[in-house]
Amino acid sequence: MKNPHARAVKGPMAASESSVNSRARAAVAALFLTNGALFANMAPRLPELKRELELDTAGYGLLVTAWPIGAILAGLAAGALVRRFGSALVAVFGTMATGAALLAAGSAPGVVWVVLAFALGGAMDSITDVGQNAHGLVVQRRYGRSILNSFHALWSVGAVIGGLMAAGAIQMNLALPVHLGISMVLFAAVALTALKFCLPRSAELAVIEPVAPPAPGTARAAAPAGSRGRMLLMMSALVLISVAGVMVEDAGNSWSTLYLGELGAPAALAASGFIALVGAQFIGRILGDGMVNRFGQRGMAQFGER
């Protein structure tokens, strides 16, 4: 799947550009890994938070919805932030803010403060997600082939790492604020280091094709009504597919540890449900780029729906 935007250069310039691209790819991979690891440090300890707040199952269900609500509200502003500050800076700032919000949730004195911290964490997480995916797409365009799934595979690796960190913290009876404070500092340092190797803003803008304005005195041609209808239908279908996927993922993220605990599993072992979920995701994602390059985006989307 050749990309027409991938530049064909030779000699020292090609070697230099290849090095820049490789460093940028590693930096984006690191950002995805930190994003996966941050919430994964909290997910296996959610049942502990439920007990401390003395919530019933319904109250716990309402509590965990604060994260996606914050994500929905902030996601609308993410595009404007990326255009204004650049995708790499937005992703790194969002990473640090997500870690801080999780620490606030783990240290909050009451349920209202936890809800507010979760909403803020979800908001920052969605902004991070848009930023790192936008930068990943820029790097992918420079490569001229699909590499985006490898970034999402690293997100799953980060989630496994975070889940294992949480299981270890539970085993050691580490207080939630101490555990989440260590996580925040560690992954903020990784994100800040990655920022140094991301593509500069100028390189990011260079791969975005500007839309030529209409010539003076001419009107922009309106898209046919049928074309607009097909576009709306396609976008609606993609939204439904995304919602279905998120529901499956979120059920495992938020409820697997609690469910295994109610089945009698020790707290540290109950974290393995979440770890198994994200580990399985890694397998599908690491295979994704090769399959997209071989069968195309549409073919893989249709295969995944079945």
Look up the pTM and report it: 0.74
**Residue (of 220, 17, 25, 188) closest to 101 by Cα position:** 188
Q: Which residue has the higher pLDDT, 156 or 290?
A: 156
Give the residue carrying structure tokens 């397998």: 283
When pLDDT is averaged across residues 245-268 and rounded to a whole number, the result is 71
**Would you say residue 255 has pLDDT above 50?**
yes
**Residue (of 78, 120, 79, 80) closest to 98 by Cα position:** 120
What the block records as the tokens of 42 is: 């909290």
Identify which of 183-187, 221-225, 254-258 has the greatest average pLDDT: 183-187
- Band of the pLDDT at 273, cuts 50, 70, 90? confident
Give the residue carrying structure tokens 């620490």: 103
What lies within 8 Å, CB to CB, of 292 at 6+ separation is 1, 146, 149, 300
pLDDT per residue as tens digits for the range 79-117: 899 999 999 999 999 999 999 999 999 999 899 999 999
What the block records as the tokens of 204 is: 């990011």
Give the H/E segment covering residue 219.
none
Of 167-171, 193-197, 204-208, 300-304, the range with the lowest mean pLDDT is 300-304
What lies within 8 Å, CB to CB, of 191 at 6+ separation is 30, 31, 34, 91, 92, 95, 96
